[in-house]
Amino acid sequence: MNESENMTREVAAPVRDNAEVEAALNRRYEAGFVTDIESTSLPPGLSEDVVRQLSAIKQEPEWMTEWRLAAYRHWLTMQEPDWAKLEIAPIDYQSVSYYSAPKAGLKSLDEVDPKLLETYEKLGVPLHERAKLAGVAVDAVFDSVSVGTTFRKELAEAGVIFCSMSEAIREHGDLVRQYLGSVVPTGDNYFAALNSAVFSDGSFVFIPKGVRCPMELSTYFRINAMNTGQFERTLIVVEDDAYVSYLEGCTAPMRDENQLHAAVVELVALERAQIKYSTVQNWYPGDENGVGGIYNFVTKRGDCRGADSKISWTQVETGSAITWKYPSCVLRGDRSVGEFYSVALTHHRQQADTGTKMIHIGKGTKSKIVAKGISAGRGQNSYRGLVKIEKGADGARNYTQCDSLLIGKKCGAHTFPYMEVKNPTAIVEHEATTSKISDDQLFYCLSRGIGEEDAVSMIVDGFCKQVFRELPMEFAVEAKKLLEVSLEGAVG
Amino acid sequence: MTEVQASRTPFVQAVLDAEGAEASEGTGIVWLDTARRENLDAFLATGLPEGRSEAWKYTPLRALAQRAFAPADADAARAANVDAAVFALPGVTGPRIVLVDGVFRADLSVLDTLPSGLRVEPLSVALTLAPEPLRFALAARHRRDAADAFLHLNAALARDGVVVNVAEGCTIESPVHVVYVATQNDVAWHARALVEVGQGGHLNVVEHHVAIGDANALGTVVSDFVLRDDAVLELVLIQDASAAATLVRRSHARVGARAAATVHAVELGGALVRHELTAELVGEGARFDSRGVFALKARQHIDTQMDVRHQARDTTSDALWRGVADGRSRGVFRGAIVVAEGADGSDAALSNKNLLLSAQAEIDTKPELEIYADEVKAAHGATIGQLDERSMFYLRSRGIPQVQARSLLTLAFCRAALGSLPNEALREHLGALLVAHLPTGPAEA
């Protein structure tokens, strides 16, 4: 396992007990695992050599190197997508370091911006977490493996493989080779191609036939170093009759420059398999004036390959300066089901263009989309979704509901649903509304002695309930708090 | 020299070939010749929109780009034998202006007994009499974008059209019947319409597209409707072009304070038809209502693009569109509502329902909302589905044969878009046209 990554990943089963974590962290720290960081970093820039070097550093097999190179060559022929309702400052892909060690950052929590600490205080993030989140170069950031291994034995007994992508490529090469890129091909889109060429790590999950994963799996991503991009790749394969619930959280330190995050997530569900994928995305959104923040350009797609399979996406998007993300379901298997539940919030000068795609191919396939957009400050929030019913999808059914909430005079809320139907037995429905928090609702709360900010957050919470319900418990609590924090100063 | 950057498709080449002949007959109006030249250059530079154009995503023009259309023959258009019965409409008996292949035909028009306060004349006449008032519209600059290729083409090549004016405070009872007749094959014709309703004025317009025989021409029509404050416009669009026709239209309504525009659109004919309907609500309290229906069969492709922009406070828009697609047809609808910053108190609603009747047909719909103000009510809904089985069962259980039950329900579905049309005779006639056009055969599924 190479710990010397620009991004710091934690592949972890749920943290059940702080003491256990603490112990694991300490153990790892005592082991003094900080490796030869300087020697493994690459200068900014992207070329075939960089891709080769990256692959060599990660000791990847030949096929993987070739796969990356093919993706890189394809990427060179592509153009950045411009159809989203986003204003993106030009990205210089040559100024990004595609593999660099974390630079020595802040030495202690005292140096961290108090505003950020205050935020974490509110979120109830444990102290050592807080240090990590703030981008302090604490060695504990490399704790992922030890914590991961604590549960790995338990998971291995069930036959579940849960490890980092680099490890999977080395140790489960055949599996990875079989499925990697089979849902999101290397040339799928501009950012997916870039990711395929330079992805640095990610998680790999494999649930064998008939296994119900004994615990919820989770990954925490964060971007640590400056001038780096993060390109992680997640692949989840669930065999017949198996089930997994997967959680993903994202955070990043505050930086003045924009940082690129181009991830790819691929899900494969075989016969009767079920995958529940939940995300709470809280990348650094930039400050009130739109300086800094993460460019979150992510391709997530699930393939319901087997009959009666189900993939459910739930996302709470509160962070990032710009979000470009459309978790999708390809409903190939007959009677397969796709779901998408989303809350996207934009405040200050954040921009989000997010939604989903439901591609109905199999007979009797069903999909449901519930998207809630909240815009405050000067935020611009767009829902963009595609529901496509192919010729053979007899009896396909879709229901889509998009609601937008506006808080303030300068923000924008937009809806762009695409519906393409080629089968006369399908039924597709879409509904959307846009409104603001009504004065009546606010007055009611205020007259009962509830402060304005609390009232707004209560109303917003009610607006999002339908989505929060789909989140695992701990995440639902976190998501609610995140919204509160993100909306601070939105009224009054 | 004309700068040609677009790939020389047969379509572009044909426009280029015709250029010499066109350029020789300048109008003598400097600004107009300049505008035409600029628009021609813009078209030649961009060519037709291609596959990647978001605005043309569902209406590919690859086949059209391979066709070469010669300019319509004006002499033939003047001589063409057109029976007035082809455009006769019950309930529409007032003033009439007829353009055949884009050329004004005085013999078919009825312009001698106009009520006071109403001016209706062909564009060619208006340009010789008093061109200056038309300058603002005809010399308007458009962004140079392939998505607007037909706008440029029309501005460059339209030699005639329709000018309608209603004086301040005048109510014109009988509808003005604007007829576009296509008779020639393999040609392109273009027409420009400028309609203005003065403050407090009231006007009814019926825009009517028909064909003689099976004309496979390309027609482009660009129409501007300007409603001054407190004006009222009732516009009915009847598109009954030939089954082989290609027709691209843009209708733009600019609605002033407390003014109200209502559009009823019925799309029946044509092989490849596109209608871009845009409305700008620029004055406080302006209102725009649109109702429309398309009924497609065989290999028809009909695309309606609607954009409603709320730019002032307390503006209202309401849209209700229905579509039916049978055979191997493709129906496309995009309905965008934009509420600009500061347009508080806006109320916008859009409903688009579609029936897909055949396994070879396709419907693509895209309702859009873009909202930049918070004191707003905005909602849209869209569905694609089939006839309700329970309604079908109800009719069958009462002894109505399947074919008839289907046709009844389909008609009822479509007529929802016509119900609010005040001209009863016309409403009945359009209903009958729909019946004739709607599929009557048993379901293929």
DSSP string, B88-137: -BTTB-S-EEEEETTEE-TTT-B-TTPPTTEEEEEHHHHHHH--GGGHHH
Cβ contact B369–A424 (<8 Å): no
For CA atoms A162, A166, A172, A178, give the dihedral sign.
Answer: positive
The widest CA-to-CA distance across chain B, in whole angstroms, is 72
Of B359, B369, B373, the CB nearest to A391: B359
Among A116-130, B11-25, B309-323, which is the least confidently predicted range? A116-130
Instruction: Please give the sequence-ordered ranges of beta strands (E in DSSP) within A108-242, or none if there are none.
Output: 161-164, 203-207, 217-223, 233-238
Residue B273 phi/psi, 5-degree rounding, is -130, 135
Interface of A with B in 127-166 (CB under 8 A): none
Whether A391 has its CB under 8 Å from any CB of chain B: the answer is yes
Residue B367 has pLDDT above 60, yes or no: yes
Q: Please list every residue in chain B whose beta carbon sits closer than 8 Å to the beta carbon of residue A419.
A: 363-366, 382, 384
> What span, in angstroms and rounded, lies between the C-alpha atoms of B289 and B279?
10
Residue A104: predicted pLDDT: 39
Cβ contact A423–B359 (<8 Å): yes
Cβ contact A427–B383 (<8 Å): yes
Cβ contact B384–A434 (<8 Å): no
Look up tokens 């014109």; give the residue. Answer: B172
Residue A15: predicted pLDDT: 37
State the pairing for strand pair B346-356/A357-360. unpaired
Whether A435 has its CB under 8 Å from any CB of chain B: the answer is yes
Cβ contact A406–B383 (<8 Å): no
Direct distance between the N- and C-terminal alpha carbons of chain B, in angstroms, rounded to an integer: 57
> Å from A407 to nearest chain B CA?
7
Residue B279 has pLDDT above 50, yes or no: yes
Between residues B354 and B24, the one the model is more confident about = B354
Whether A421 has its CB under 8 Å from any CB of chain B: the answer is yes
Cβ contact A412–B378 (<8 Å): no
Say if residues A84 and A206 touch (Cβ distance below 8 Å): no
Residue B4 has pLDDT above 60, yes or no: no
Residue B215: predicted pLDDT: 86
Cβ contact A432–B381 (<8 Å): yes
Cβ contact A424–B370 (<8 Å): no
Mutation pick from B332, B341, B371, B380 vs chain A, by most beta carbons of A within 10 Å, is B371
Residue A33: predicted pLDDT: 28
Q: Please list every residue in chain B whose beta carbon sits closer than 8 Å to the beta carbon of residue A404.
A: 369, 371
Structural domain spans, chain A: 30-325
Q: Please list every residue in chain A whose beta carbon sits closer than 8 Å to the beta carbon of residue B378.
A: 433-435
Residue A57: predicted pLDDT: 81
Whether A46 has its CB under 8 Å from any CB of chain B: the answer is no
> What span, in angstroms and rounded, lies between the C-alpha atoms of B269 and B247?
10
Cβ contact A418–B366 (<8 Å): yes
Comparing CA positions, the residue from B4, B112, B15, B135 lying closest to residue B65 is B15
Q: Please list every residue in chain A whose beta carbon sits closer than 8 Å to the beta carbon of residue B356.
A: 421, 423-424, 426
Say if residues A426 and A389 touch (Cβ distance below 8 Å): yes
- From first to last of its 492 residues, what are the pLDDT tens digits of chain A? 343 333 334 343 343 344 444 443 333 322 222 333 333 567 778 888 888 988 888 888 999 999 999 999 999 999 888 888 888 888 888 887 776 544 434 445 455 555 555 555 554 444 444 444 443 323 222 323 333 344 667 788 888 888 888 888 888 989 999 999 999 998 899 999 999 998 887 889 999 999 998 877 877 655 544 455 678 889 999 999 999 998 887 655 555 667 788 889 999 999 999 999 998 887 778 877 777 788 889 999 999 999 999 999 999 888 888 899 999 999 999 999 999 999 998 988 889 999 999 999 999 999 999 999 999 888 999 999 999 999 999 999 999 999 999 888 888 999 999 999 999 999 999 999 888 888 888 899 999 999 888 888 888 888 988 888 888 777 777 788 878 877 776 664
Q: Please list every residue in chain A whose beta carbon sits closer than 8 Å to the beta carbon of residue B382.
A: 417, 419, 428-430
Cβ contact A420–B367 (<8 Å): no
Say if residues B294 and B323 touch (Cβ distance below 8 Å): yes
Look up tokens 């001016």; give the residue. Answer: B119
CA nearest to B54 within chain A: A83
> What span, in angstroms and rounded, lies between the C-alpha atoms of B210 and B249?
14
Helical (H) or strand (E) element with B325: strand B316-325
Give the residue-averaged pLDDT of B153-170.
Answer: 94
What percent of chain B has pLDDT above 70? 95
| CA-atom Rg of chain B in angstroms | 21
Highest mean pLDDT pick, A472-481, B13-22, B123-132, B229-238: B229-238
> Å from A206 to nearest chain B CA?
38
Give the residue-averaged pLDDT of B295-311.
Answer: 94
Comparing CA positions, the residue from A72, A14, A104, A356 lying closest to residue A231 is A72
Interface of B with A in 304-343 (CB under 8 A): 341
Whether B366 has its CB under 8 Å from any CB of chain A: the answer is yes
CA nearest to A374 within chain B: B374
Q: How many CB atoms lie within 10 A of CB B169?
A: 13
Residue A184: predicted pLDDT: 92
Cβ contact A435–B377 (<8 Å): yes
> What span, in angstroms and rounded, lies between the C-alpha atoms of B243 and B213?
9
Tell me whether residue B199 is exposed, middle or buried, using C-beta atoms within 10 angstroms of its C-beta: 0 to 12, 13 to 18, 19 or more: middle
Residue A251: predicted pLDDT: 56
Whether B125 has its CB under 8 Å from any CB of chain A: the answer is no
Residue B444 has pLDDT above 70, yes or no: no
> What span, in angstroms and rounded, lies between the C-alpha atoms of B384 and A428?
5
| pLDDT bracket for residue B26 (50, 70, 90) | low
